[in-house]
Structure 1
């Protein structure tokens, strides 16, 4: 039996006020948590200190299968440097969007509910990260699927723009002129 419109509870003024107060508190807490702008990481231009734990945890999982296990630390560092270079060349508006994505993924108040990773990224296992990536890739929410796609594209473009990645896929590199 499908409910009729008269069976669906109506939001009262009191309920609306409670919801508004709760939403305001949530957004205020999220704003306060992210109010101090993080500085770029050492030797980096666009990737911030606050982004590094997340990226250092996620990049190796995303590169699984494309890099030998013993080469993952070097590949992660090269990908991170390449990602920073790519982000530094974005327009200010696009860089702001990338930073907003990283903020959602790094702030504790949003990280847990949206990713399923309740602890810090440094303590997340590879399985936790795979589950997060799968959750976002297959989400019913378009915004999470877009976030997954953006993250995947940024990391893969960063990796495959490095000379270390070229040998793996048989690319000899750009021609010398």
Structure 2
């Protein structure tokens, strides 16, 4: 029989503080760099409430990978755009603090200086293959850094919530829709 118990983490308070300090410094540096270089536009893309032009290439690359198997290939382009619209609407209803964290996550994933080391995608999102994006998702999901695991979970939840809130997604999972009143 295989022993599947997990031993105690060898993470002392000092190590935890170091990881937190390094992570905070990294995110602060990324944020300042984005602001000074003009990468982090604070205004929404035309027709959007929250999402910016810099967020869209990442989302258009990510969403088809996450929706694979739930959407027929011929319906994928429309599903991606509809999911982005739902995501934008959902983000407009987040608390200011949660929205700030989500925007920071999108900034880190949009900027080349942080995207490459954190995701393994060194070129633009438009040029990333399905396998590259799946490898990035697997890397974050199985990371030993809790910050990356939380980022993966956040991305997955945001996209899935946005897709499955749409009526066209319900048939795939057998949901007949809300009862009529």
Alignment TM class, shorter chain as reference = 0.7 to 0.9
The answer to whether the aligner puts 1:105 opposite 2:109 as a matched pair is: yes
Answer whether contact 1:139 1:145 (CA < 8 A) is retained.
Answer: yes
Which residue of the partner structure matches residue 46 of structure 1? 50
Which residue of the partner structure matches residue 132 of structure 1? 136
CA positional deviation for 1:40 = 1.1
Which residue of the partner structure matches residue 12 of structure 1? none
CA positional deviation for 1:39 = 2.2
**Structure 1: unaligned runs, 5 residues or longer:** 1-22
Map residues 134-153 of structure 1 onto 2, 5 A cutoff: 134-153=138-157
Answer whether contact 1:137 1:144 (CA < 8 A) is retained.
Answer: yes
CA positional deviation for 1:30 = 4.7
CA distance in 2, matches of 1:149, 1:36: 23
Which residue of the partner structure matches residue 119 of structure 1? 123
Answer whether contact 1:61 1:126 (CA < 8 A) is retained.
Answer: yes
The answer to whether the aligner puts 1:154 opposite 2:175 as a matched pair is: no
CA distance in 2, matches of 1:131, 1:34: 29
Residues paired across the two proteins, number: 153
Which residue of the partner structure matches residue 18 of structure 1? none
Specify the structure having the higher radius of gyration (Cα).
1
Which residue of the partner structure matches residue 71 of structure 2? 67
- 1:137 and 1:36, CA in 2 relative to 1: closer, same or farther beyond 3 A? closer
CA positional deviation for 1:38 = 3.7
Q: Please give the root-mean-square deviation of Cα atoms over the aligned residues, in Å.
A: 1.6
Which residue of the partner structure matches residue 22 of structure 2? none
Q: Which SS does the other structure have where 1:70 is aligned?
A: helix
CA positional deviation for 1:172 = 1.2
**Structure 2: unaligned runs, 5 residues or longer:** 1-25
Moved segments of 4+, more than 6 Å: none
CA distance in 2, matches of 1:51, 1:83: 11
Alpha-carbon deviations, 1:13-38, whole Å to 9, x = none?
Answer: xxxxxxxxxx8xx6554552356524
Answer whether contact 2:44 2:53 (CA < 8 A) is retained.
Answer: yes
CA positional deviation for 1:85 = 0.8
Answer whether contact 1:137 1:145 (CA < 8 A) is retained.
Answer: yes
